[in-house]
């Protein structure tokens, strides 16, 4: 590991001022430290923000909830308000990583974790995300874990977070604080950039800006929330495909639907046209298959990720069958639903 300076920030202002070229924030460090050991990330300064006040609470906020950026994944998943009102978020968090990692990983850090594309992690291979302009070795290489939506010629790396998929379905916003203390709120679709020809630029955070909270809107009353994750093994594995669903019914018709997808997008993926297609419709297999086809219309899979087309279609149909009551909920961490 390359030597670096360690700075313990006493305030947000201190942390922002210490930012800039060659600096990196650290909270739980569950992703950063691994990347530093491999010299994929080699910051000159590491700024510890774990002792900053006011960032470790889950508290009511307007009609919803504000989650401090330093709240651990374990504490967030176990919070009574989250379990009762936003159960899809609890389900998604518990489906990710291991208990030990969830105990350390922070809410803000989870949103900013880096891809697990094997070429990003292999410094002997070309990777535009790690080293801009060097090329993308995934073309013509191994592609099982790559994204199929939002990709470009320069990058096909999938976003790894389970938590962010649930937050996307819940229409969460991120609170960002700048160096001068001003705050702004953005949706996750605004926070994350598409790769285009600059996959190294993953977010819209400006220099000195820090994620300070995640804001959940008012819970969707009467909703059924589900999270379904398909992965290679039962624990400690990233999603091949995941689906977060928040659905309300009006009699025998779908009133509202908010779906988000993991393992298939370069960012936590959401398609407003898929949600709109379901509105006011009577749930059935044909409708769900049509929604899946709409989602996949722009998919551009690597040949080894072609299997994700039928997999995401089956996962979407299964999640909607559970959420609309066409099929009983399946017991277990990865496949379950809750009513709010």
pLDDT per position as a tens digit, 2-34: 999 999 999 999 999 999 889 999 999 999 999
Query: Is the pLDDT reported for residue 333 higher than 60?
Result: no
Residue whose C-alpha is closest to residue 186's, from 201, 170, 175:
175
Mean pLDDT of the region 208-236: 95
CB 154 within 8 A of CB 316: no
pLDDT at 337: 73
Name the residue with tokens 């960002």. Answer: 176
Question: Mean pLDDT score of the chain, rounded to an integer?
Answer: 95
Residues 48-85: tens digit of each pLDDT: 999 999 999 999 999 999 999 999 999 999 999 999 99
Residues 76-113: tens digit of each pLDDT: 999 999 999 999 999 999 999 999 999 999 999 999 99
pTM of structure: 0.95
Residues 235-256: tens digit of each pLDDT: 889 999 999 999 999 999 999 9
Helices (H), ranges, the chain: 12-18, 32-37, 73-78, 80-85, 87-94, 99-104, 107-111, 118-121, 163-169, 188-191, 272-278, 285-296, 308-323
Name the residue with tokens 């087309």. Answer: 309
Residues 109-148: tens digit of each pLDDT: 999 999 999 999 999 999 999 999 999 999 999 999 999 9
Q: CA angle, 154 as apex, 173 and 312 as ends, to 5°?
A: 60
């Amino acid at each position: 590991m390359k030597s670096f300076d360690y700075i313990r920030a006493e305030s947000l202002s201190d942390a922002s001022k210490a930012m800039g070229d060659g600096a990196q924030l650290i909270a739980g460090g569950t992703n950063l430290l691994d990347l530093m050991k491999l010299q994929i990330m080699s910051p000159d300064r590491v700024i510890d923000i774990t002792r900053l006040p006011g960032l470790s609470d889950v508290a009511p906020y307007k009609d919803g909830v504000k989650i401090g950026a330093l709240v651990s994944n374990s504490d967030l998943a176990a919070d009574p308000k989250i379990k009762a009102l936003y159960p899809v978020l609890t389900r998604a968090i518990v489906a990710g990583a291991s208990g030990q990692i969830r105990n350390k990983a922070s809410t803000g850090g989870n949103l900013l974790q880096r891809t697990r594309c094997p070429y990003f992690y292999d410094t002997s291979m070309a990777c535009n995300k790690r080293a801009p302009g060097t090329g993308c070795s995934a073309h013509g290489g191994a592609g099982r874990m790559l994204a199929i939506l939002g990709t470009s010629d320069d990058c096909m790396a999938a976003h790894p977070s389970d938590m962010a998929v649930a937050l996307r379905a819940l229409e969460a916003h991120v609170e960002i604080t700048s160096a001068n203390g001003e705050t702004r709120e953005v949706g996750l679709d605004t926070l994350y950039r598409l790769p285009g020809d600059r996959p190294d630029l993953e977010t819209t955070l400006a220099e000195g800006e820090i994620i300070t909270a995640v804001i959940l809107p008012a819970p969707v009353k009467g909703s059924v929330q589900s999270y379904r994750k398909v992965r290679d093994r039962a624990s400690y594995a990233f999603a091949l495909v995941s689906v977060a669903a928040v659905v309300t019914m009006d009699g025998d018709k779908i009133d509202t639907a908010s779906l988000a997808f993991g393992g298939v997008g370069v960012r936590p993926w959401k398609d407003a046209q898929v949600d709109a297609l379901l509105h006011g419709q009577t749930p059935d297999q044909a409708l769900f298959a049509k929604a899946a086809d709409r989602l996949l219309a722009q998919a551009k899979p690597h040949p080894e990720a072609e299997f994700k087309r039928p997999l995401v279609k089956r996962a979407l149909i299964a999640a909607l069958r559970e959420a609309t009551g066409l099929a009983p909920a399946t017991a277990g961490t990865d496949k379950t639903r809750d009513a709010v």
